[in-house]
Chains A and B, each alone.
Chain A
Amino acid sequence: MAKVATREELIHFLQNKATDLRRKIIELSVIAGGGHLGGALSAIDILVVLYYHVLRIDPKNPRWEERDRFILSKGHGALALCPVLADRGFFPEELLSNFNRLDSPFGMHPDRNKVPGVEMSTGSLGHGLGVAIGVALSGRLDRANWRVYCLLGDGECHEGSVWEAAMAAAHYKLGNLCAIVDRNMFCIDGPTEKIMALEPFKRKWEAFGWNAIEVDGHDFAQLIEAFEGLPPVTSTVPTVVIAKTVKGKGVSFMEGVGAWHYGGLDSEKERRALEDIEKMRPKG
């Protein structure tokens, strides 16, 4: 991790990382013979801010007691999470070359017993926030000062279990819990508002007793500010960061196109995707 002196340098560093990782997502999807590209590209800026600035973690000691916990509730985001974990040094990047293949530790959804740095095996939607509540309550029992972060998809929030968890988090006053929703406005079959409307989304969280913040999920300054401004671990209100994102962000032919929820790239599309992504790299 680079040493950065100023906020501008930090943002520059994170933007650069995000560009590198977007490239890796594309390349990994080619190795894997397809992948959940849309939701990987919408979530990657959030993951970069968490893994390169916010989370207190030790890649050499993945189960370090004092670490912050991160649960990828939208488990189909493994295509984005695995390259991040590799780049942060949890395991050698070469291992990803077997993605999706027989006996690989890496598939479309992360497995906590096979991939260092993965807190929970996910992939079935609507489980992660409930797991995060058990973790947060345990942290409080242990008087720990780490936090639990949990990234959800917006389509995932159709699941009733998400709202059972939301209710419990407020009930138990889990100030050490921070949920993030990748609000890219799409599930698989189309726009969330057309398939099963979620709005008024922020007010739903507020009505459930959460501190709800909306940010642009591709604006590093806003993301940093939201996480740095979290109430103390000992506070009594859980926070949800609703990150407004674009599904397929960074690749012109994927942005906002629902069908790219899951897809594969031929070499021409791969080339165009990488070309688009390179345009996001910050100058200098």
Chain B
Amino acid sequence: MAEGISYTVYELYKDLTQTEVYGQTLVELAKKDERIVALTADLARSTKIGVFFDAFPERAFNFGVAEQNMMAAAAGFAISGKLPYVSTFAVFASMRTAEFVRTDIAYPNLPVRIIATHAGVSFGQAGTTHHCTEDLGILRTMANMTIVVPADSIETAQFVKASVDWPGPLYCRIGRGLEPLAYMEEDYGFRIGKSVLMREGQDLTVIACGVAVLPACEVADELAGEGISLRVINMHTIKPIDREAIIAAAEETGGIITVEEHNIIGGLGSAVAEVLAEEGIATKFKRLGIPDVYSVIGYPEDLYHRYGIDYEGILKAVKEMLEMKGVR
């Protein structure tokens, strides 16, 4: 990113998509780290890794429309001392190549970084073949895999920087278009595996990831005016999940709503539920996400609304649970 410019961080990032930030940040890192190589499957332009192809043509490899071969080759780079960043749409990164990821990358525990773009329903108008609401569930069952869902462009930059020295395979899912920022600044202490407390609160907790984090914060701010204190946790790392934050939220606020751009089965909500069940904590609990259907065609914002993971949807779910708890 531009250095020594007196913009605020917010201004610097607000007009950049997560994909653009990924490409630009990786170019900066690659100037100092010669191990970094970039791979794509005819989606250099769409995933915005194209800037890396321009900056380091000899370290960038386009495999054509052949994702499985690309994943296998990524493993080959990794066993040869390189640090491969692999970019394609989430639907292909997680499902077209699933067994290559599992057997060639996760099983031998190789430091391949899979940057899955156009995730969730962020490419909604492309229709169900291009929606990806299964990846967290699939990747979560691969041992050794670490899974990160950055909340916005600022967090995407933090993640890409943190990814370089992370041991083992990483799967990161980001969106397609320009989304408003959830953060104002970048020095909030991003660490893979450690959730971020976005809003302190005692009445109820929303645990969100990705594009759902900002509206959850806005709901908390709105309710604060009504004297309700809503805790909001950005669970950017789905695996390994931050158990302490979940346990504390359940014990201290007595109710948890999870929000994710994913099937309610298998992703963030399931991961949180597993922790609660194993800890033997009885708490009110609800998962917001795609309700185990194939999401319909539509623009992303319409789909976020349809599936209740936008401001209105989260507000409604929070109010219902508060009522059940007898708050207000």
Contacts and interface: CB of A to CB of B under 8 A. Distances in A.
Interface of A is mostly: loop
A121 B299 contact: no
Contacts of A156: 65
Nearest to A76: B126
A266 to B, nearest CB: 19
A140 to B, nearest CB: 28
Interface stretch (A53-61, A100-108, A199-207, A270-278): A100-108
A32 B45 CA distance: 21
A111 B298 CA distance: 14
A123 B66 contact: no
A88 B68 CA distance: 38
A124 B297 CA distance: 15
A126 B65 contact: yes
A207 B96 CA distance: 27
Interface in A83-122: 100-109, 111, 121-122
A155 B303 CA distance: 30
B298 A187 contact: no
Contacts of B96: 124
B128 A187 contact: no
B128 A121 contact: yes
A123 B130 contact: yes
The residue among A106, A125, A156 with the most chain B CB atoms within 10 A of its own CB is: A125
A33 interface: yes
A66 interface: no
Q: 6 closest A-B pairs (Cβ-Cβ)? A: A196-B64, A123-B129, A158-B64, A102-B298, A107-B127, A107-B297
Interface of A: 32-33, 75, 100-109, 111, 121-126, 155-156, 158-160, 187-189, 192, 195-196
Given A100-B125, A100-B297, A123-B127, 14 more contacts: A101-B298, A103-B296, A103-B297, A104-B297, A108-B126, A108-B130, A111-B297, A121-B129, A124-B92, A156-B65, A158-B64, A188-B43, A189-B44, A195-B64
